Amino acid sequence: MQQIIFFFIRNKNFLLFGLLFLIALTLTVRTHSFHKSKFVSSSNLVSGTIYSIKNDITTYFGLKKENQKLVDENKRLRALLESYKANSVATNGDSILPSKYSFLTARVINNNYSKTKNNLTIDKGLKDSLQIDLGVITTKGVVGIINSVSSNYATVQSILNTKSQINAKLKNSEHFGTLVWNTKDPNVVQLIDVPRLAIVAVGDTIVTGGKSTIFPKGILIGSIKNIILKEGENYYDLDVQLFNDMTNLENVYIIENQDAQEILALEKEVEDAEQ
Amino acid sequence: MQNSEIFINALRFIVLVLLQVLILNHINFFGFVNPYVYILFILVFPLNGNQSLLILLSFLLGLTIDIFGDSGGVHAAACVFVAYLRPLILKFSFGISYEYNTVKISKVSLTERLVYVSLMVLLHHLVLFGLEIFSLSHILLILKSTLFSGIFSILLILCTLLLFSRKS
């Protein structure tokens, strides 16, 4: 017994080191899976408050650009509204049905783009009825998916994250692939596994595919920058230049799919029945 | 430790964390190079201080940076690692004078200081980027990040040491 106690006392530094290192490793590994990453995140009260104070100050520097963006969007929406009004006589009836997507606005209070696994923090949380797995976009394109929520803040797994895999398709056909990031350039992502049958050209637009419950179909992502078809492969790898400037984000929209619960429940039912 | 020393270390902890998460994490020199100056806390922690306490504080320091940066536990792991190895590195870089408790970081020669800071910083960065990228196929990226961020951090840390060294 005495021997054991002496052993502990003699090696207490090493044991402490081992224990803490193990805890740190566990935390690291936990973040590698999407749904477990809520334990240590910047959406908690202390860091959230500090980041929003900082954002309150720095946001003034980009005010002019941000206003310009919002004005541009207003212009675009106004044009859409007018064209809708013009056509509404012809298409009355089912087009007036309420949309199944609802939108919320939020501000980005912390943004990363230089690491391999980037996350953003936004200033809305549980109190604004946010939850995990909602999509986040800007006026120009996709930003990411919410992966952790506290009462006042939430973190967003950016598309600039090696863990992100978003369903995306070509705008002018239904061929779809998976959007991933190779960590090289914060404004270029990769669309992989696009079937060889698809007709692709540099400059074509890539939009979200709508195959998941997170993003609606047709949200802008970027344009094709480079086409890679390896010898003997049946799938294209495309470099996609993002419309968004991921290094300069301020106002974002959060998309909530009202039918998500229903769709997921239905899919789960089918999966369970097959097992 | 005396009261004033505890106070100074607590203040240093908070100031370094805020400096790191609010400014240095967003420098992105060349797109990916960020200095990690907060390990200055581990470097200048009293040399005759309690080693177990240092390991525990380093863990807290790293974890705080992780919480702000959403990076899991990579900073915590790297900090604990260098805190544990600190006595070895001290012995290696300052030699016999360390064992007689006569070393003061503000008084040693530039070469010794450079060796000490570089070893600590490079080890920390290697563990940090190794865990963050976590893939052997990106080993070049790990080494590149370690080297560039390391040089940046070492320069900044040496400057900070010069700036705050008290003349006696």
The model's pLDDT over B3-19, given as tens digits with 9 standing for 90+, comes to 888 999 999 999 999 99
Answer whether residue A34 shows pLDDT above 80: no
Which residue in A28, A110, A185 is closest to B131 by CB distance?
A: A28
Would you state the pLDDT for residue B13?
94
> What CATH number belongs to A42-87+95-257?
2.40.10.340
CB pair distance less than 8 Å for A17 and B25: no
| Residue A236, phi then psi, degrees to nearest 5 | -80, 145
Quote the ipTM score: 0.88
Confidence of residue A154 (pLDDT cuts 50, 70, 90): very high
Answer whether residue B139 shows pLDDT above 60: yes
Q: Are A27 and A40 in contact (CB under 8 A)?
A: yes
Contact status of A40 with chain B (Cβ, < 8 Å): yes
Q: Which residues contact A187 (CB under 8 A, 6 or more apart)?
A: A241, A242, A245, A246, A247
pLDDT in tens, B44-90: 998 888 889 999 999 999 999 998 888 888 999 999 999 999 999 98
Contact status of B47 with chain A (Cβ, < 8 Å): no
| Domain chopping of chain A, boundaries | 2-30, 42-87+95-257
Confidence of residue A272 (pLDDT cuts 50, 70, 90): confident
Q: Cα–Cα distance between A72 and B39 in angstroms, integer? A: 45
Contact status of B59 with chain A (Cβ, < 8 Å): yes
Would you state the pLDDT for residue B1?
62
CB pair distance less than 8 Å for B63 and A24: yes
Beta-bridge partners for A257 = A101
Contact status of A119 with chain B (Cβ, < 8 Å): yes
Which residue in B67, B133, B141 is closest to A44 by CB distance?
A: B67
Answer whether residue A47 shows pLDDT above 80: yes
Would you state the pLDDT for residue B10?
93
Residue in B51, B61, B65, B70 to test binding to A, most A beta-carbons within 10 Å:
B70
Contact status of A53 with chain B (Cβ, < 8 Å): no
Element at B39 (helix H, strand E): none
CB pair distance less than 8 Å for A47 and B21: yes
Which stretch of A14-23, A44-53, A79-88, A229-238 has the lowest confidence by average pLDDT?
A79-88
Would you state the pLDDT for residue A37?
53
Tokens 């914060």 found at:
A186
Q: Are A254 and A146 in contact (CB under 8 A)?
A: yes
N residues, chain A: 275
| Residue A32, phi then psi, degrees to nearest 5 | -75, -15
Q: Between the CA of residue B7 and those of A129, A245, B3, B14, what are the distances in Å?
A: 42, 43, 6, 11
